């Protein structure tokens, strides 16, 4: 009776705070060599519900995996990369520097 009246064990989400790429590497990479194509042709909500039910430990990790898989298929990896690409395209539009005379 004393053992039952003690503090309750608290469940812990081991996937909380991990980036989606690491979640994929730890949970999916053993069967799927690449994340490319896994979200292709699937609705966002149905993919999320499937991952939540079968592959993730919680709704937040399922949502992160869903967003990660869709970003791989759409080509949008990270929000910072398109900004860097636009900066590179702006710099390529400048005229070349003059060639120094010898």
pLDDT level of residue 92 (50, 70, 90 thresholds): low
Quickly list H helices, 1-102.
20-27, 44-54, 59-74, 80-92
| pLDDT confidence of residue 34 | 86
Q: Mean pLDDT across the stretch 49-65?
A: 87
Confirm if 57 and 13 have CB atoms less than 8 A apart.
yes
Q: Mean pLDDT across the stretch 28-55?
A: 87
| pLDDT confidence of residue 19 | 86
| pLDDT confidence of residue 28 | 84
| pLDDT confidence of residue 81 | 39
Q: Mean pLDDT across the stretch 3-15?
A: 63
Of all residues in the chain, what percent are helix, strand and coil, respectively (each to 5)? 45, 0, 55
57-93: string of b/e by CB count within 10 Å (b at 16+)?
beeebbbbbbbbbbbbeeeeeeeeeeeeeeeeeeeee
The pLDDT tens digits for 12-25 are 666 677 888 888 88
**Greater pLDDT, 6 or 98:** 98
User: How many Å apart are CA 44 and CA 46, to the nearest integer?
Assistant: 6
| pLDDT confidence of residue 12 | 66
Domain range summary for the chain, segments of one domain joined by +: 20-74
CB-hemisphere CA count at 13 Å for 65?
Answer: 29
């Amino acid at each position: 009776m004393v053992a039952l009246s003690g503090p309750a064990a608290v469940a812990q989400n081991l996937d909380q705070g991990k980036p989606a790429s690491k979640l994929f590497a730890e949970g999916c990479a053993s069967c799927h060599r690449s994340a490319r194509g896994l979200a292709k042709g699937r609705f966002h909500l149905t993919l999320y519900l499937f991952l939540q039910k079968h592959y993730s430990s919680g709704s937040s990790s399922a949502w992160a995996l869903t967003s990660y898989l869709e970003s791989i298929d759409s080509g949008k990896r990270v929000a910072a990369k398109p900004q860097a690409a636009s900066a590179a395209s702006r710099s390529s539009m400048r005229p070349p520097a003059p060639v120094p005379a010898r």
